[in-house]
Amino acid sequence: MKKTLLILTFAIFATGFIKAIGDINLGDFEDGVTNIWMLYGETYEIVDNPLVAEPNTSSKALQNVTINQYQGMSLHNLTYMADSFSMFSFDVYDATGAVEFIVNVHGKTSDGTDVTSSYYPTTIAGEWLHYEVDLTNAAEFETFDTITQLDLQNNTAVTELYWDNILLTSKYGGVTSTIGVSTVKANELLFFPNPASSSELIRFTGDIEDNSVVELYNVVGQLKLTTYLNNGILDISSLNSGLYLVKVGNKVAKLVIR
């Protein structure tokens, strides 16, 4: 009876976590914040929208000037469960004309193997292009367990690309929330590496306070570890390989230990 209750508790806990995942706004730039995009290029800055027209009628956009191929920007150290999202989308504009650019979605399989899906679209001269990556495409993403990095790059020497309305669309609906410099999506933890070996230290990012209580549950709902974060680091050396749910306050995420 006790084991049945533990399994039921885990199932309710996991279901609550899944349904809590909403769309994630990775950049609409109306607030003047570049979020946590990492620059690989000459400059980027939030500017007035150079062409207020469909599909992008917002007032601000992120201008990214590049002078060499493969420059652009990236979002690193993500721990999003790939099967929670249906689409990665954004708007892009290049005032100089139609140029080819690169979209990379990086991730890991359940056994920790690195995987990448890459796309090479072309902007529309004098117009905003709305571009979508179908994350439910089994041929491209069936092996993805987590999404760990997103790249938006040029594929030519010199570009002046504008990015806006960068979004991860949830399969489960829910409220759109924003990732910023000091904020993360409500009810989801960000940490890396994931998957990890028991000999590795887990590093948390975002607004998790130091000395926060961390709880790890196994697949039958048993509490296997209760500890405190120390400088944003979690020691998992006492845990066996397997799937765990990590809970800090009202935030949860899945962790795979190899």
Residue span of the structural domain in which 129 resides: 23-178
Q: Strands 177-178 and 24-27, how do they pair?
A: parallel
**208 is written with which tokens?**
């998790």
Query: What is the tens place of the pLDDT at every residue in 25-66?
Result: 888 888 777 767 888 777 889 999 999 999 999 999 999 988
The confidence score (pLDDT) of residue 12 equals 41
Same-domain status, 167 and 240? no
Same-domain status, 55 and 167? yes
Boundary (domain end) residue, out of 119, 144, 178: 178
**77 is written with which tokens?**
């150290």
Boundary (domain end) residue, out of 154, 178, 202: 178
Query: What is the tens place of the pLDDT at every residue in 80-117?
Result: 888 889 999 999 998 878 889 999 999 999 888 999 99
DSSP assignment, residue 141? H
> Does residue 245 contact residue 256 with C-beta atoms inside 8 Å?
no
Q: What is the CATH number of the domain that holds 101?
A: 2.60.120.260
Same-domain status, 131 and 211? no
Same-domain status, 60 and 13? no
Same-domain status, 198 and 221? yes
DSSP string, 97-116: ---BEEEEEEEE-TT--EEE
Which residues lie closer than 8 Å to 246 by C-beta, 6 or more apart? 189, 191, 214, 215, 216, 234, 252, 253, 254, 255
Query: What is the tens place of the pLDDT at every residue in 109-120?
Result: 988 899 999 999
Distance in angstroms (rounded) separating the CA atoms of residues 103 and 115:
14
Query: What is the tens place of the pLDDT at every residue in 120-139?
Result: 999 998 899 999 999 999 99
Q: What is the tally of structural domains in the chain?
A: 2
Same-domain status, 67 and 147? yes
> Does residue 84 contact residue 231 with C-beta atoms inside 8 Å?
no
Boundary (domain end) residue, out of 137, 161, 178: 178
Same-domain status, 194 and 156? no
Model confidence, pTM: 0.64
pLDDT(173) > 90: no
Q: What is the CATH number of the domain that holds 196?
A: 2.60.40
The confidence score (pLDDT) of residue 106 equals 96
DSSP assignment, residue 7? H
Same-domain status, 169 and 150? yes
Same-domain status, 67 and 133? yes
The confidence score (pLDDT) of residue 176 equals 53
Query: What is the tens place of the pLDDT at every residue in 205-233?
Result: 767 788 889 999 886 678 899 999 988 89
